[in-house]
Structure 1
Amino acid sequence: MIEKENIVYERSVLIGVVTQYQDEEKSKEYLDELEFLTYTAGGEVIKRFSQKLDTPNPKTFIGTGKMEEVLNFIKDNDIDTAVFDDELSPAQQKNIERILKCKVVDRTYLILDIFAQRAKTSYASTQVELAQYEYLLPRLAGLWTHLERQRGGIGMRGPGETEIETDRRIVRDKITLLKKKLKTIDKQMEVQRGNRGQLVRVALVGYTNVGKSTLMNVISKSEVFAENKLFATLDTTVRKVVIRNLPLLLTDTVGFIRKLPTQLVESFKSTLDEVRESDLLLHVVDISHPNFEDHIASVNQILDEIEGGDKPTLMVFNKIDAYKPEKIEEDDLVTEKTTAHNTLKEWKQTWMNRLGDDVLFISAINKENMEDFRKKVYEAVRKIHITRFPYNNFLYPDYDKYTGELKDED
């Protein structure tokens, strides 16, 4: 354990693989993200291990030689936790724990653990708890958590039933109970969404830690929790916002991430419904991140999976204050120029140019270009409302109900 500023961090090692589907550069990028996940969950990364394999070893994820190297390092450096970059099968996890004799977690477990730490409301906690139990069920033999030792009356373990079978039944009962609870809450939230009136709904979407909550605070002058950690906010926040006398509903949603556990996608269904039922998406991107294009692709993939990819979208490139292109010295005749060397002006001339007016460059934390942002959002919202409610003008008394233009002041 490492103690910093009265916070105890678990000493951890990261383990990833380079395969035919995941080259060395991609593997390094995933391990960078895994390190940030580990830090967010409360771990301190001491060392990374990586191995080239055609496919991960079905028994131990990595080869025996590399496993021996990891084991020796864990013994010599008092390591608490081994974190694997991909989801381990129950058999792999059991085998690895037997060899390493320390806590073994995978990327999915780590994300679930962060979600459990971050869940503040009863609804978010229920969603995360369901995802955790669904992850736990096939792994009970390896993890062996005696979930409930006092179970009296009807339902007691019967003759011939082993302890592990009892625990499996307890977990299945818990999953059923949580699903019923979520179903009830989902219905309540559906009614709440239906009661919001005929206001255009705008949803902030994007990769985790791109500044959605900071932007939400700037636009709505609210106090949504924002922190430079992954998944700083889990609970969906909805605020009524007025831009130039034009009211709209703005929703801050949970951040997406590559390899997002399927259990979370299912348990956060109602949260994702906010995206599905929105009229306009503000896809927020951290342009200062070296792999922001991959983040865009990951978010678009998840949006397609939840049937939200065809909605009107404004691309909002945030954190322009932190963007620093790599430089090439004038006398450097060896280094080949790549997108990493692009200035913001050069980026705007790439594929971003094809987005036309549906692209914005801002700094939410420094409130840079926010007036342009408000203007673009206002125009997009007004266009949607006029199309959808051409005769319903009582919400917008200052606008002509046929043209949508601001009425002349007398």
Structure 2
Amino acid sequence: MILSWRRSRGGASFRKSEVSKGFSVDLELTIPTHFRCPISLELMKDPVTLLTGITYDRDSIEKWIDTGNVRCPVTNQILTNFEQIPNHTLRKMIQDWCVKNKSHGVDRIPTPRVPISPLEVLDICSKMVAATRLGDAKKCVDLVVKITILAKESERNKRCIVENGIGSALADSFEYFTRFSIDIHENLLKEVLSALAWAPPRTQEGISKLKSTNSLHCMALFLNEEDLLTRRNAISVLKELVSADQYYIDRLERIDGIEEKLFQILEVPICPKATEACLVVIHHMMVFEKTTGGLIMSKFIQMGLIPLILELLVDGDRGVCDMALVVLDRLCNAKEGKDTVHDNALSIPLLVKKILHVSDAATDLSISILHKLISEENGSCNGVIEAVKLGAFQKLLVVLQVGCGKRTREKITELFKMMNMYRYKVDCFESYVGFKYLKIPN
């Protein structure tokens, strides 16, 4: 098989038209077979050889291994280790071929950087810890910038950096310099926070560094920063912390005005990821609050969180919708929250729409919230009628047909009972002949 050189993945084969003696000849440039990656069939940019002796492009073989494959794609041998040895000879041959065919529009492949090793990461970590102990802010900034650049070079580098303790070193540095004037060390703290957003600490010791009063107040301060990137990084780090340690909420809820800061991030969105992270933090605060006796949830409700969440459901992406429904479901556990959701004209239309529309989780949550809103205890005849008019009955039948969990199935059964209860009292129900044949379990 011959694979032609392409200017781009989606482009046509590269041809050079040569005009001679009144006619043209199309010359098609072909890539030598041994220059192509056996996986992608494209020209290799960074050829590496496995223990089986087969050479692949580094990016392709790493993706193959990352998806859980443990065999060599060509020989099917089990890989007892995943060491990738750079094939410098072949890479030089490929580069020479590119230079030779420059006139055909082939660009020379740059010499790839050697991926960072765990030992190098550990060395950077130890240097950062030492610089922190000496209070050398400039050295710490240089090291953070260095790891950020290395992480951007490849996913492999980023993964290696994260897995070898950089999060704890960053947390240590952040906690240390927040003891002093934030204004003086603002640049360093923002750089460290930016790195923590993609490399959070994985050890309890590292997490505990960010639980200090100084660290928390600094992150809370950055939530109001004019720079949107800094605000996004602050909420991303908070999300990782509350997800890793529920006891973190105790300290977080003691920060004056934290609810307002979080509400503002939802009110003036930065990006979907920041919105989702903010919803995660709010949910954890409501679930694990210990010292306020439910006041946090009440405060969010009074601030207008419910209408804001319903707005997010209108056009939010999957992650935002899923998390928004999680928070809404939690709010409906309180009478104040349930009443506020019930009284909002958008609630039932949006909940019915989200069934079978976003994800399995969103479907289960939408049904759970609907069940709470139009339960018999509420006496919400109007809610039942509106839900049926919007097609809830048909959607719930589909959910049962495609399958769902036991709890969701029980809630659907109860919703059917409520709908069936009003079918003779409301004219619009008569058009749904499906009720006539519906058998409600005892």
Is TM more than 0.5 here?
Answer: no
> Which structure has the larger Rg over C-alpha atoms?
2
| TM-score normalised by the chain length of structure 2 | 0.23
More strand by share: 1
Structure with more relative contact order (C-alpha pairs < 8 Å, separation 6 or more): 1
More helix by share: 2
| TM-score normalised by the chain length of structure 1 | 0.24
